[in-house]
Structure formats: structure tokens, C-alpha cells
Amino acid sequence: MTLEQAFSCLPTLTTRRLRLRQIQESDAEAVHAFKTDAEVTGRFGEDPHRTVDETRTWIASNRTGYERHEAMTWAIVLIDQDVVIGECCLWNFGPGQRCAEIGYELHREHWHKGIMTEALRELIRHGFSDLRLHRIEADTLRINPRSMDLLLRLGFAQEALLRERHFHQGKFHDQVFFGLLRDGWRG
């Protein structure tokens, strides 16, 4: 599958416990459940959503990003249910579309169960094996050590620390950048 093919029909990805599928308008209530949690959104420097309409707008912007070949966003659902518990994405595609950034968030009820590790392993596999990316990047705020640990466990290398780069809720936060090359991937 080429990147162009993935932009014509976003593939559903499956793991032992999870299904990653295209996020839909009908997912708004379930997505809103984690988008309103300041503990979830604050870890990557965003304010929580205040209304379901704000979440619907976020979903629509992800669909627009997909239509413009700018981003691919997957809803994370447990394989035996079809309720969204998180999301992950490839976006910010680089020159020649051989590089992308990964993003992710998960409902707090599902933290510490290995769900995001499982989802991102499959997303990284898809990026390198199916889409033939050469590099996948990620960034996180230093106030989110669990995200940094997750990236390191997945094989990413910390490449940069930008001091006080991100301003959120009246404070400056350090931003940490990570990279993973296909040749260094342990898939």
C-alpha cells in the first residue's frame, strides 16, 4: 500500500485487543469523554473541550486533514466493542512524504493497561511497512514523562529538548522531540 492509497481509503488496523479505524462523526460523544478531561489534554498542552460541538469540529478538522492528504487519524476501539477509547494519528508529513509525526491520546480509564503501546506498535508497523515511511517523529511536553517513556520503549530516540517552547495555562513548558528511523525499528 502506498501513502496515496492510504489517503484514498484509510485502512483499518487490528491488533490482539484493538481495532484502529477511521474516526467518524458518530464517535463525537465517546471522543468528547476524553477530550474534556484536563488530565488527558493538559499532558500535551491543550485545553479540554467544553462542548460536544467543539469535539465535532475537531473530528471534522481531522476528516478535512485526511481529505487534503495532511493527516490520518484512527479511533482506538477495543476489538469486542465499538466505543472509542482514544485516538492516534500520523500527520505533519514531511518532504517527499517519507516522514510523518505520530500523535496519540487515551481515555484515562484505559491508562496503564498497555493499550497505547499496542496501538502505536501497530501504527508504527503500518507507517514503516505499508506506507514505506523512512522516519517517524514525535514530540511531547517534559511534564509528561509517561509519554516520553512510551516513546523510548517503542524504540524512539530523544533528539532535542526545546526549553520553554510551549505556553499553556500561564506557564512555559519544555518540549521534547523524538525520532525513529525505519532502519532502527525493532518491528
When pLDDT is cut at 50, 70 and 90, the band that residue 39 belongs to is confident
CATH number 3.30.1050.10 is the correct assignment for the domain at 3-134: no
The DSSP bridge partners found for residue 71 are 91
Convert the pLDDT of each residue in 132-164 to its tens digit: 999 999 999 898 999 999 999 999 999 999 998
Given a contact cutoff of 8 angstroms between Cβ atoms, the answer to whether 177 and 160 are in contact is yes
- Supply the pLDDT for residue 166: 79
* Domain definitions of the chain by residue range: 3-134
Nearest residue to 136 via CA among 149, 118, 122, 146? 122
Whether the predicted pLDDT of 5 surpasses 90: no
Looking at per-residue confidence, does 84 or 47 come out higher? 84
For residue range 93-139, what is the model confidence (pLDDT) as tens digits? 977 779 999 999 999 999 999 999 999 999 999 999 999 999 999 99
Mean per-residue pLDDT of the chain: 92
CA–CA distance, 156 with 151 (Å, rounded to integer): 5
pTM of the shown model: 0.93
Q: State the CB neighbour count (10 A cutoff) for residue 164.
A: 11
Closest CA to 143 of 42, 34, 37, 46: 42
Residue 37 predicted with pLDDT over 90: no
CA 132 – CA 2 distance, rounded (Å): 7
> What is the DSSP code string of 125-176?
HIIIIIS--SEEEEEEETT-HHHHHHHHHTT-EEEEEEEEEEEETTEEEEEE
pLDDT > 70? residue 187 = no
Question: Could you tell me the pLDDT band of residue 46, with boundaries at 50, 70 and 90?
Answer: confident
